[in-house]
Structure 1
Amino acid sequence: MRVKAGEKKGIIAMAAGIAVLLLSFFCAMPVSASSASERNAEELSEMRKDLPEMIRKAESGNPEDQFLLGFVYAAGIEGKPDYKKALYWYEKAASQGEETACYMAYVLYVEGMGTKCDLAGQKSGPGN
């Protein structure tokens, strides 16, 4: 499927919304809270086997792979969320123009997840 130039921003905005929803779902719910969260934990456990390959792909410099690696670290692929690693990979992807990674890094900064939150000291951010 080919994306038209005018549709790209809408798709990116939708992806960002979904990513935030998933991030909040994975990070906010305890693993034993429901059968749905248990399924998510099982899926992450299955993905854990692929983690070395995901890291290799991200280290090769592909921003989509870097974003994905940041996302699974934030979701808790290693058993619990690692926001510091997530932020590292989001920043790598964002520096190459991956807009959703930029947004996710911003969310982590605002929430002080994986980094110190310093909104008063910020001089720039999305929209500035």
Structure 2
Amino acid sequence: MAWLNATPRPPAESPRAKNFNAATAPSRLDQLKKDRVPVQMPPVPLPHIIQWWIETGVTGSNGMSATVLPWAEISAWQANTSIKLSSWEARLIRALSQAYVQQSRISEDEACPPPWRGAVTEAEKAAEIAVLDDVLG
């Protein structure tokens, strides 16, 4: 999810960096939708954990950037939903948040590969060929 939600940035030393505007640049997810490429996701063996993680807020915030979801948020979520997490479930939700924060920072590099990759689809091939045609003429 973090890789998809990241907005890839060109290298600071590249000529494209001068004109890059993070506020208007699309995320990878937005670009895939624009290119009509179906978003592939890995299998999820515990979908209820992912749902609970999303409900807790995925990440925390320190005012400047995303941070690992605080234990207090997980505890407050449990109190508000009357769902009592086991210790391994709570630790897993926090670990998912930590992995998300780390991956989101890494994923700002436009050359960052996806952390998971399914089979290449015909729509992805067509989108890449269109980009090459635009560049090469």
**Bucket of the pairwise TM-score, normalised by the shorter protein:** under 0.3
Rg larger for = 2
TM-score by length of 1: 0.24
Provide TM-score, normalisation by structure 2.
Answer: 0.24
Report which structure shows greater RCO (CA 8 Å, sep ≥6): 2
Higher helix proportion (structure 1 or 2): 1
